[in-house]
Amino acid sequence: MSGALLVAGTTSDAGKSVLTAGICRWLARQGVRVAPFKAQNMSLNSWVTADGAEIGRAQVMQAAAAGVEPEGAMNPVLLKPGAGHRSQVVLRGRPVAEAGALDYRALKGRLFTEVLASLADLRSRFDVVICEGAGSPAEINLRADDIANMGLARAARLPTLVVGDIDRGGVFAAMFGTLALLEPADQALVAGFVVNKFRGERALLEPGLGMLSGLTGRPVLGVLPWRDGLGLDVEDSLGLPGPGETRGDLDGTLRVAAVRLPFLSNFTDLDALAAEPGVAVRYVDRPEDLDAADLVVLPGTRSTVADLAWLRGRRLDGPLARRAATGRPVLGVCGGYQMLAETIVDEVESGAGRVDGLGLLPVTIRFAAAKTLGRPDGVAYGQPVRGYEIHHGVASVHGGEPFLDGCRAGAVWGTTWHGAFENDGFRRAFLADVAARVGSPWQPRGEVSFAAVRERRLDVLGDLVAEHLDTDALLRLLADGPPAGLPFIPPGAPTGAAGPALAGGAPAPPVTAGLPEAGHLRSSVPDLGSRP
């Protein structure tokens, strides 16, 4: 089939998300109408589309790279891990189940039908769809009911690129081994490799690239160099900021401590703070780190009650109470806001019933079965603010002052709104208030546009693809599909790894209805070149 390919990876966090975004950016620059797609995404970073669907933030970032509006079809299955080794299953933007690993496998037949329908829908409306895999395609224990990697590629006949992270070492073994663990029909779709995060001498790498191509019969289509400071939305747990990690201005005069909760979600809320000159955002899990900060942020969480218990177990509740009592700023966002309440009643997410909150805001939280998904707007500090909200907890406010559908009491703020700091005027006004309250010399420096910062980062990805990927070969794959005659590399997957079936014993049929014919890309965009 023309007009689509799959970006798979040797491991999680190998670079699938950023390569997908880079290809989308490069194609969009050529005048191609391109959409991103991820069949199954496990992430606690999510967003709400204009039509009210919840999808992974990485697909939102990729849609921005493509210059198109994000939509539910771009991420039909989203898994949101929670406490007790269970995940909320979000299908086409709406929660449909809470499942453990074995429960989830029983759902996959139904989910795969929806995945294929979503992909066919996008392919009928866009010139090109760039699909991102999940984890590794060589997870042979999961191949029988895979819906995100080679199961998807086989059903939709997608040419597949395998990207590997050379910075973590062992990239040649990982690429060869990934291919060699696939059964013949899957290997026939793997058309080439991409090396990611390279920061050495290219001349020293070249012999290995040639040997890999000789061993596998497949070309290395590019070597993407390491780039610092991209700061793009991540989804994989390996991309989560670790305790002690600092982002933004390392020598910043305004110090923000973000509590590194175990089920931290939507930590992208803090990216805009880190982009502001003079602001350092540090992820912390020790009481002394809260005492030293100018602003403490309790971010979102997928498991409010479990993370509240963790917070108390780490003795972080004491410093938060001291801050509130002495007028030192604390901000809670979504799940963090819920923790600041006087009382939490949760029969939905944790089943814990009534739980005492931190009692720093005059609020009662009651969890509802229905999830609130929305894109609210309002005014704070005299500035327009737009955000998005994703939560089961419903807040009843009985005091304080209004703040973005939440409230403020003294120097403690709480809101259900994610993305508020992406509003430039509001972000600067809020930080100026924080600085004044703690006597910090910080002041806004210039008119930083966070939207422009993101666009520049996406342009870097497009430049990397244009300069370091064999874009002629990329276009051939999109126009012609998987190359014929690719050699099989033994041993292949164990017998039966690809299994009979997601739904009742028969493999999913190829997706053909409503898809462009071979050559569609070239005929619709005849002047595409290998460089912008």
Which residue range(s) make up the domain with 406?
A: 253-441
pLDDT band at 230 (very low <50, low <70, confident <90, very high): low
Q: Are residues 211 and 301 in the same domain?
A: no
User: Is this model's pTM higher than 0.75 or not?
Assistant: yes
> Per the residue annotation, which of 391, 392, 418, 520 is the catalytic one?
418
pLDDT for 510 equals 43
CATH number for position 483:
3.40.50.300
Q: Is 136 left (phi over 0), alpha (psi -120 to 50) or beta?
A: beta
More confident residue, 501 or 335: 335
Question: Is 192 contained in some domain?
Answer: yes
Q: Are residues 292 and 153 in the same domain?
A: no
Decide if 238 contacts 12 (C-beta within 8 A): yes
**Total length of the chain:** 532
Q: Is 334 a catalytic residue?
A: yes
pLDDT for 100 equals 84
Q: Is 418 a catalytic residue?
A: yes
Closest CA to 147 of 119, 123, 187, 183: 119
pLDDT digits (tens, 9 = 90+) for 26-83: 999 999 999 999 999 988 889 999 989 999 999 999 999 999 999 999 999 999 888 8
Of the residues 408, 441, 474, which one is the last residue of a structural domain? Answer: 441
Q: Are residues 213 and 313 in the same domain?
A: no
> Per the residue annotation, which of 334, 392, 407, 468 is the catalytic one?
334
Q: Are residues 26 and 71 in the same domain?
A: yes
pLDDT digits (tens, 9 = 90+) for 263-315: 998 888 999 999 999 999 999 999 999 999 999 999 999 899 999 999 999 99
pLDDT digits (tens, 9 = 90+) for 184-213: 999 999 999 999 999 988 999 999 999 999
The whole-angstrom separation of Cα 76 and Cα 40 is 7
pLDDT band at 497 (very low <50, low <70, confident <90, very high): confident
Question: Is 521 contained in some domain?
Answer: no
Q: What is the DSSP letter of 343?
A: E
Please work out, in degrees rounded to the nearest 5, the angle formed at the alpha carbon of residue 59 by the alpha carbons of 58 and 62. 90
In the chain, the percentage of residues whose pLDDT exceeds 70 is 90
Question: Is 248 contained in some domain?
Answer: no
CATH number for position 324:
3.40.50.880
The average pLDDT across 241-250 equals: 81
Q: Are residues 428 and 459 in the same domain?
A: no
pLDDT for 245 equals 84
Q: Are residues 458 and 310 in the same domain?
A: no
pLDDT digits (tens, 9 = 90+) for 448-476: 999 999 999 999 999 999 999 999 999 99
Q: Is 504 left (phi over 0), alpha (psi -120 to 50) or beta?
A: left
DSSP 375-444: --EEEETTEEEE-BEEEEEEEEE-SSEEETTEEEETTEEEES-BSGGGSHHHHHHHHHHHHHHHT-----
Q: Are residues 202 and 316 in the same domain?
A: no
